[in-house]
Amino acid sequence: MRIAVTGAAGFLGSHLVDRLLAEGHEVIGVDSLITGQIENLKHVESNRLFRFVKSDVTQYIHIPGPLDRVYHFASPASPLDFPRYPVHILKVGALGTLNALGLAKAKGARMLQASTSEVYGDPQVHPQVESYWGHVNPIGERSMYDEAKRFAEALTMSYHRQNQVDTRIVRIFNTYGPRMRLDDGRVLPNFFRSALRNEPVTIYGDGSQTRSFCYVDDLLRGIMLLMESNLDEPTNIGNPEEITVLEFAKEIIALANSKSEIVFKTLPKDDPCRRRPDITRAQTLLGWNPRVNRAEGLKRTAEDFIRRMK
């Protein structure tokens, strides 16, 4: 197939490009490089099946020739990006998704919208099932990301219903692996970077809040299964193994053989207290389950961090 991937130079987008090329597809990677890193694609730039287009998805997306699939992964997603690019994040969720859907419609292609567990906000239902509508502060300090993704889901379903565009929506839960930005600002990169330097590991709040971490290979296998399925409603993809942030910090420190101490700071406003996906839909209808256990995934991730931090 001939496939477009927006956000192709990002953590998830670049891994997706790898998997699609490995299956023999022709891939057009689109990225503005505002937060994406071209280094993530250096190893495929000589691949005759790959072409990179530097373009901002909030502008018209021009890709000559036919397309069979559009994976819409473009969006700054790090908490550090929220205060830096709040309006742009909202524009990507609205205009970027509109342009990706318009591209899919024009080409007669199927489009997958990369959504997020953040649409559930600080959830009052646990674990989070796709039928839960969420608990989101629409004007909070994280609202630009949460609401951009919620709007993108609404726009995707509206295009599907009104214009008969073939669409899929994946709700991605916490994912980790090689190529995460060292300055990402999320739990795992923060912990690894501090632990590998023997610096204090900072936990916001008392560490009792939970996360559920999915290795990148597992996530993308599930996403590709979803793309080729007939499921047009949102589907959770993530690892349901839940761990407290404090326990996770201790795991990272032990893995890094670090002398780091743990320090505690005030929990940011609207930070989710619990996060765990209900993956019954993916298990039942896609036959998907995560395969990589956290110990193995963290080992692979640590090796990548050590190599890049030298």
pTM for this predicted structure: 0.95
Percent of the chain with pLDDT over 90: 93
Instruction: Give me the pLDDT at residue 125, please.
Output: 94
pLDDT, tens only, 3-56: 999 999 999 999 999 999 999 999 999 999 999 999 999 999 999 999 999 999
Instruction: Give me the pLDDT at residue 268, please.
Output: 83
Mean pLDDT calculated for residue range 278-296: 97
How many CA atoms within 13 Å lie on the side-chain side of 144? 19
Radius of gyration of the chain from its Cα atoms, rounded to whole angstroms: 19
Q: Report the largest interatomic distance among the alpha carbons of the chain, rounded to a whole angstrom.
A: 58
- Say yes or no to pLDDT of 310 above 90: no
Domain boundaries, the chain: 2-176+215-239, 187-210+242-280+286-309
Mean pLDDT calculated for residue range 73-78: 95
Is 2-176+215-239 a domain of CATH 3.40.50.720? yes
pLDDT, tens only, 76-96: 999 999 999 999 999 999 999
- Say yes or no to pLDDT of 309 above 90: no
pLDDT category of residue 61 using cuts at 50, 70 and 90: very high
How far CA 221 is from CA of 111, 269, 273, 290, in Å, comes to 16, 33, 28, 9
The set of catalytic residues is: 145
What is the CATH architecture of 187-210+242-280+286-309? Alpha-Beta Complex (3.90)
